[in-house]
Amino acid sequence: MTRASPSILFVCLGNICRSPMAEGALRQAADAAGLALTIDSAGTSAYHIGSPPDGRAIRTAALHDANIAGLRGGQVADEDFERFDLIFALDEANLADLRERAPADCHAEIALLMDCVPGRAGEAVADPYYGGEEGFAETWTDVAAAAQALVKQFGG
The least CB distance from residue 105 to ligand 4NP, in Å, is 28
The least CB distance from residue 69 to ligand 4NP, in Å, is 15
Select 14 or 24, whichever has its Cβ closest to ligand 4NP: 14
Its sign, for the CA torsion 109, 111, 92, 17, is negative
CB atoms within 10 A of CB 121: 11
127 in contact with ligand 4NP (CB under 6 A): yes
User: Which residue type occupies 37?
Assistant: L
74 in contact with ligand 4NP (CB under 6 A): no
The least CB distance from residue 156 to ligand 4NP, in Å, is 25
113 in contact with ligand 4NP (CB under 6 A): no
Task: Provide the β-strand partners of residue 38.
Answer: 7
The least CB distance from residue 104 to ligand 4NP, in Å, is 27
Q: 40, 54, 97, 127: which one is catalytic?
A: 127
Query: Of 6, 9, 14, 40, which one interacts with ligand 4NP (CB under 6 A)?
Result: 14
Give yes or no for a contact between 41 and 9, defined as CB atoms under 8 angstroms apart: yes
User: Which residue type occupies 3?
Assistant: R
Distance CA 44, CA 36 (A): 26
User: What does the per-residue mask of binding to ligand 4NP show for 20-59, with x meaning CB under 6 A?
Assistant: ---------------------------x------------
Residue 129's closest CA among 139, 144, 121? 139
Which H or E element spans position 152? helix 133-153
- Residue 91 appears among annotated catalytic residues: no
Distance CA 33, CA 18 (A): 22
Positions that interact with ligand 4NP (CB under 6 A): 12-18, 47, 127, 129
